Structure 1
Amino acid sequence: MAKGNPEVTLNILYRGPVERGHNWQDLFAHHLPQVKWHTWPNVKDKAEIDMLVCWIPPREYQQDYPNLKVIFSVGAGVDQLNIPSVPQHVQVVRMLDPGIQQGMTEFVQMSVLNIHRDTLAYVNMNQQSQWQQLPGVSTAKRRVGIMGLGNLGQAAAVGLQNLGFQVHGWSRNPKSVANMSCFHGNAQLQTFLQRSDILVCLLPLTDETRSILNQQTLSYLPQGASIINVGRGEHIVEQDLIDALNEQHLRYAILDVFAKEPLDTQHPFWQHPQIWVTPHVAAITQNDSAGQALLANVQRYLNNEAMAGLVNLSAGY
């Protein structure tokens, strides 16, 4: 593997799980020995730090690390970094980990199939010792809408197409995806939702997408539609979702992300018979593949090449 420019020395500060940090430190020591690896909070000279690798940065990092140039998110999302607070001269890079992509595709496929085959209803029947067969439809007649057509959204769409589902997508800005109808912007949101028997939310969290699934937009979904949220909890107005389920406008909701995590033990989502809660496990960063992705991006930086996953700070993703 290329060593990058051996004359350039970089200082990386890592903040995260210890085992992952050790793995990545060894990886960099082998492939990019000119990179000095620091583990937070053990930093002698904060002015030396060029790059920060973290999920949530240290408090007051803007002032404490005056020569910071890049923040690498260890996950696919970056909203937890509070993008408006990031200094304009600092580049932000989200994690494009094939392990995250594979995990998300698997979770979305699993969730869509569970809704498609009424698994949640049968689980509820099990608890009541109730024997009842529910009518079903073919995958070719089930329409799945993907909100968010980034790296994860497009991968999930392909995975669902491979299972035979009708898949279409929506994004804030125009996108073209092979073999899929794409909608964009507020003007086409209602049409997109009206065609979604199962809605998968994979949007980034921005001011424009916060609370995008509310009483009005949920009403656009077909009667008996279901929702899978693997974006961010703040995309959904919680009470509006509960109301849509209680009124039988929506059939199921599979929720992996929440406005406050961990989800409070008294939260109504836990006991709702039409909601399936999972603890933010749809796509977990894989140490090996994510380490390789991080290494490749640092090499690109050393070679003055564009880094993969670079975030537009103005757009927030």
Structure 2
Amino acid sequence: MRVLLHIDDAETWRDALAERLPGAEIITSDAPAEARRDVDYLAAWKPPAELLREQTRLKGIVNLGAGVDALLGNPGLPEGVPIVKLRDAGMAELIGDYVRYGILHFQRDFDRYRRQQAHRAWREHAVTDKRDWPVGVLGLGAIGARVAATIAADGFPVHGWSRSPKSLDTISCHHGDAGLDALLGRVRTLVLLLPDTRETRHLIDERALAALPEGASLINPGRGTLIDEQALLAALGEGESEGRLRGAILDAFPTEPLPADSPLWSHPRVWVTPHMAGPTPLGEALDQVAETLRAFEAGEPVDTVDPGAGY
């Protein structure tokens, strides 16, 4: 089995993967072009189109992350090659921590206390009980379902939404357009964990934001394309006074790094993080990659990406 690896710090990944697959030949993408041709499998994160075009006998591709939009949109992607993406691989716990912080940021009024500090204002706010702070989670895949369960275990009522019906313990599940409208109207914090697909792009638009209760907050550790930025800015309003939307914690953006001239950088009720909510833990990711490659080689069924659906 010959495996081509393309990712930052590829040598570390190569050595660790070789330990898990002692009979495999692992080649990194910085090897000469002749050495990296005719591999059986590609394990990669955002590979260049030319690297994909070089391959003529791929049996499978392992996407080294949960989001496959960049890979599916790559002009060099060969047709008909099965794709497997990392599913959770330790990312859900990290994203769950990010989301938990974000919810508490608003539920315990840290945003307001921070603004008060700038004016040396000493004013205590009454604590809203967790039971009175419903949270909506859009996207109930491997990561979204675990994040939703974590929030519910913390004592918050959780409403989850997916395209098709799902049933999860401790989560009020909604689906379809009617389900989305019902969820938006009752949550105080909305969490976005959907993939980037034709159906999800700008799902959070002027209409969706207007459906949220006055003073709701938004957390996006998912994909930057989910939000209509102009609609978001309009909902936030200008200056320190709260608009319809109380605030937003954003980790993903349509263009990354976020351009220096983006108004999101300086908005007083927006918190920007550099797509760090769910870095891939190396050990768990490599275990999953090795297991997938073994399954490919043995002809065993693997959970592949549906290019039409986008995930």
Q: TM-score range by the shorter chain?
A: over 0.9
2:166 & 2:50 partners in 1: Cα distance?
37
Amino acid of the structure 2 residue aligned with 1:198: T
Aligned counterpart, 2:260: 265
Q: Which amino acid is the alignment partner of residue 312 of structure 1?
A: D
- How far off is 1:179 after superposition? 2.2
2:22 maps to a residue whose letter is P
Q: Equivalent residue for 1:121?
A: 112
Per-residue Cα deviation, 1:267-290 (whole angstroms, up to 9, x for no partner) = 111111111111111100111221
Identity within the alignment, % = 37
What does residue 310 of structure 2 align with?
316
Matched, 1:51 2:41: yes
Q: Taking structure 2 as the reference length, what is the TM-score of the superposition?
A: 0.93
SS at match of 1:271: coil
Deviation at 1:122, TM superposition (A): 1.4
Counterpart among 60, 65, 84 of residue 70 in structure 1: 60
Residue matched to 1:194 = 185
What's the TM-score once normalised by structure 1's chain length? 0.91
Deviation, 1:46, is 4.5
Query: Is 1:218 aligned to residue 212 of structure 2?
Result: no
Give 1:47 shift.
3.9
Q: Is the 8 A contact 1:205 1:235 kept in 2?
A: yes
- The secondary structure found in structure 1 opposite 2:105 is helix
Partner of 1:153: 144
Given residue 178 of structure 1, which amino acid in structure 2 is its aligned partner?
A: D
CA contact (8 A) 1:13 1:39 kept: yes
Unaligned runs of 5+ in 2: none
1:177 Cα offset (Å): 1.3
Tell me how many residue pairs correspond in the alignment: 305
What letter matches 1:303 in structure 2? A
Check whether the contact 1:120–1:276 (CA below 8 A) recurs between aligned residues.
Answer: no
The root-mean-square deviation of aligned C-alpha atoms, in Å, is 1.7
SS of aligned partner of 1:14: strand
Partner-residue secondary structure (3-state), 1:48: coil
Q: Does 1:36 align with 2:31?
A: no
Q: Secondary structure at the match of 1:244?
A: helix
Other-structure match for 1:79: 69
Structure 1 consecutive aligned stretches of length 4 or more whose deviation exceeds 4 Å: none
Q: Is the 8 A contact 1:68 1:90 kept in 2?
A: yes
Alpha-carbon separation, structure 1, partners of 2:155 and 2:178: 28
Kindly provide the amino acid, as one letter, of the partner of residue 149 in structure 2. V
Q: Which of residues 105, 115, 124 is equivalent to 1:133?
A: 124
How far apart are the structure 2 equivalents of 1:84 and 1:195? 38
The yes-or-no answer on 1:249 pairing with 2:244 is yes
Structure with higher RCO (Cα < 8 A, 6+ apart) = 1
Aligned to 1:7: none
Q: How many angstroms does 1:91 deviate by?
A: 1.1
Q: Distance in 2 between matches of 1:62 and 1:31?
A: 25
Output the amino acid matched with 2:80: H
**Which string of whole-angstrom CA distances, capped at 9 and with x for unpartnered residues, describes residues 174-205 of structure 1?**
11112211111123211111011110000000
Q: Is the 8 A contact 1:205 1:234 kept in 2?
A: yes
Q: Does 1:22 align with 2:11?
A: yes
Residue of structure 2 in register with 1:3 after alignment = none
